[in-house]
Structure 1
Amino acid sequence: MLRPLIIALLLAAGPAAAQSVAFGGMKADSSAPVEVAADKLEVDQADGNAVFSGNVVIGQGEMRLSADRVTVEYANEDQSRIRSMHAVGNVTLVSGSDAAEAREAIYQVESGGVILTGDVVLAQGKNVLTGDRMTVDLVNGTAQVDGRVRSILQQGGN
């Protein structure tokens, strides 16, 4: 994908401190229904968790999360309500015109928070940020990138 080119470009750019950025172009509705598509589903009745694997795509309103494998944790008191989702492998989070990639992500559905970890790359138009960890607030449309943050910020115009 674009990751090798983006990483090579970022290595040539200077490092930056932890950065807060807008994310998603629009606020996500964390109360919207969650739709999941995958090649396989395994359910553990004992702990109430579900594991989706193979080409997993999760949609909620305008937000899309894809990964190789996603474990869904349901609320103990209400098995119809999702508490969190733990995505692993080739994770991509898209909201509005913004897109982020990482090795792992934890989506706290009730609060609308997503934590991406491991070689995080955030693309916003022509601007790119990388870091070790990105915390996204889908309710407010903001994100913070931490851990050896590097950025390429295009100057206006072309």
Structure 2
Amino acid sequence: MSRQVSKGFPVRHLKTIVTAAALALGTAAFGQGAEVALGGLRQDPGLPVEVTSDNLRVDQSDGSATFSGNVLVSQGEMRLTAGEVEVIYAPIGGRIAELRATGGVTLVAGEEAAESQEAVYTIDSGEVVMTGDVVLTQGANALSSNRLTLDLTEGTGVMEGRVRTVFQTGGD
């Protein structure tokens, strides 16, 4: 049986609340940013990229292709959905250099998911920068901010701009 601090509040939850408060204060002290570990959003950027959509527009003059309508980008276990994705090809070699997603972006891998208004995925570096009303969920926990920069090769991310965190304590 756990000890009670006050009406119905078990002492064992105090550690969780103190830790959450310390994280929140630490976040505010470091320029409104937070670094997060992302085991599920780890990805090998060398894997093939598959894109499906309702429409495709190709612009030969600038070497871009724009997929629109129910866009799904797959790479390994990672899935990105958006209203529109512009594919930027490298000037030499014709390989994909960058994906620019807009129109409600969702990036999912394993039990982790991130949502934003826009995202830019630089393939060679494995970096994804998500901007605009960013929400990152890890299981039952959620973080929100204005910007999330993911390093898919390392499985880490940095949230910037008024970070808000909700921790689920799981208690009884």
Instruction: With the length of structure 2 as denominator, give the TM-score of the two structures.
Output: 0.79
Residue 6 of structure 2: aligned partner? none
Matched, 1:104 2:113: no
Return the letter of the residue paired with 1:96. G
Determine which of 107, 116, 120 is the counterpart of 1:93: 107
Residue-pair matches, total: 144
Return the letter of the residue paired with 1:32. L
Please report how far the alpha carbon of residue 155 of structure 1 lies from its aligned counterpart in structure 2 after TM superposition. Answer: 2.4
- CA RMSD across the alignment: 1.5
Residue 154 of structure 1: aligned partner? 168
**Paired residues of 1:24 and 1:95 also in contact (CA < 8 A):** no
Please report how far the alpha carbon of residue 78 of structure 1 lies from its aligned counterpart in structure 2 after TM superposition. Answer: 1.2
Please report how far the alpha carbon of residue 154 of structure 1 lies from its aligned counterpart in structure 2 after TM superposition. Answer: 1.9
Residue 50 of structure 2: aligned partner? 35
Moved more, 25-34 or 134-143: 25-34
Mapped partners of 1:62, 1:22: distance in 2: 17
Return the letter of the residue paired with 2:70. N
Matches within 5 A, 1:7-156: 16-17=27-28, 18-25=33-40, 27-79=42-94, 81-155=95-169
Provide closer, same or farther for how the CA distance between residues 24 and 40 of structure 1 changes in structure 2, counting only shifts above 3 A.
Answer: farther
Runs of 4+ in 1 over 6 A off after TM superposition: none
Return the letter of the residue paired with 2:103. G
Q: If each structure's helix is expressed as a fraction of its own residues, which one has the higher value?
A: 2
Mapped partners of 2:153, 2:129: distance in 1: 14
Return the letter of the residue paired with 2:62. D
**Paired residues of 1:63 and 1:95 also in contact (CA < 8 A):** yes
Mapped partners of 2:124, 2:139: distance in 1: 29
Return the letter of the residue paired with 1:73. I
Please report how far the alpha carbon of residue 31 of structure 1 lies from its aligned counterpart in structure 2 after TM superposition. Answer: 0.2
Quick check: which has more Rg, 1 or 2? 2
Task: Quote the sequence identity (%).
Answer: 52
Instruction: With the length of structure 1 as denominator, give the TM-score of the two structures.
Output: 0.86
**Paired residues of 2:41 and 2:108 also in contact (CA < 8 A):** no
**Paired residues of 1:123 and 1:129 also in contact (CA < 8 A):** yes
Indicate the SS of the match to 2:154: coil
